[in-house]
Structure 1
């Protein structure tokens, strides 16, 4: 299994307002590395109070941070050609699209899958499939709503789901989830 788990935190309701990006690189079914970038969003210095209340990131935290445009080439090299998995992937894909559009970058064909759907297929009887609920169910402690921690838990939940579903290779993911794998 090779994939990248990805998570964004945003400064406002605008899809181009990424203020943090986290990725967790999975190679051969093992977590290789987790990285994050604080990002100065286009809305800087404005951050919506509700967003800050969720993730705790403030304008002061990102005032000297690069913009999405500054970090995109590094990120693109990491995710290019990989399956991307995110928890509530529609949100993260929309943020990625919003940032790419805002900065005028070409939108690459990126295959992505939602870990909520993966978990629902693996555990049909849970009351909630939120990231915190799944982490609690599997006794995984993490700093919720920080992009690197959320990306890593998404990777761990996905790996546990694949193990429960006896999926051991990327081509098997495509066979089982083909209609649920979307293109950015």
Structure 2
């Protein structure tokens, strides 16, 4: 069966280590079993770029008492351990994860990741757009865009639909089918 975790970050500034929200959706045996969401106090606190606020709506006062990325890493790592990681526009989210790990001096795990855009492009050729919102609209999935937990869950749903469309039923088949797209953190 297919096991993976889908992640999504929202950031406070243009700095990749400025995660202010993290969402993780856990998929076991091809089913979503849990979605977790954390507001995070970024290193830039209390500064948030107004552009970033306009995208996700998270205000500095909302994270004043939130944990840092380092505070939640043990729980995040446990959820991700041994799983293939997916993200929509994965180069961004993997970059944020890598930058947060580096910023806090945390040991970087060996983690394989895959972008759900590549899954969508292989599954549904010739769509006009492959953004998360566009794909959700095509598949009638309603969600609150640019909130990390919701985005991670929609990423997982899109990936599962793509795997079904491609007749992929095991994690090993996914890794084999997308081996040229697979990256290491």
Q: Same fold judged by TM-score > 0.5?
A: yes
The match for 2:50 is 49
Query: Aligned partners of 2:19, 2:124: CA distance in 1, in Å?
Result: 31
1:128: how far off? 0.2
Query: Aligned partners of 2:169, 2:53: CA distance in 1, in Å?
Result: 38
The match for 2:13 is 12
The match for 1:168 is 169
Query: Aligned partners of 2:181, 2:90: CA distance in 1, in Å?
Result: 11
Local SS of the residue matching 1:179: coil
Query: Aligned partners of 1:100, 1:31: CA distance in 2, in Å?
Result: 26
Q: Deviations along 1:34-90, whole A, 9 cap, x unmatched?
A: 010000000000000000000000101100000001000110111011000000000
The match for 1:144 is 145
TM-score normalised per structure 1:
0.99
Residue correspondences, number: 184
The match for 2:40 is 39
TM-score normalised per structure 2:
0.99
Query: Aligned partners of 2:153, 2:6: CA distance in 1, in Å?
Result: 7
- Could you tell me which runs of 5 or more consecutive residues in structure 2 were left unpaired when the two chains were aligned: none
Query: Aligned partners of 1:101, 1:85: CA distance in 2, in Å?
Result: 20
Write the mapping of 1:1-184 to structure 2, written as runs, cut at 5 A: 1-184=2-185
Aligned structure 1 segments of 4 or more residues deviating by more than 4 angstroms: none
Query: Aligned partners of 2:37, 2:19: CA distance in 1, in Å?
Result: 12
Query: Aligned partners of 2:140, 2:79: CA distance in 1, in Å?
Result: 29
Local SS of the residue matching 2:180: helix
- Could you tell me which runs of 5 or more consecutive residues in structure 1 were left unpaired when the two chains were aligned: none
Query: Aligned partners of 1:16, 1:67: CA distance in 2, in Å?
Result: 11
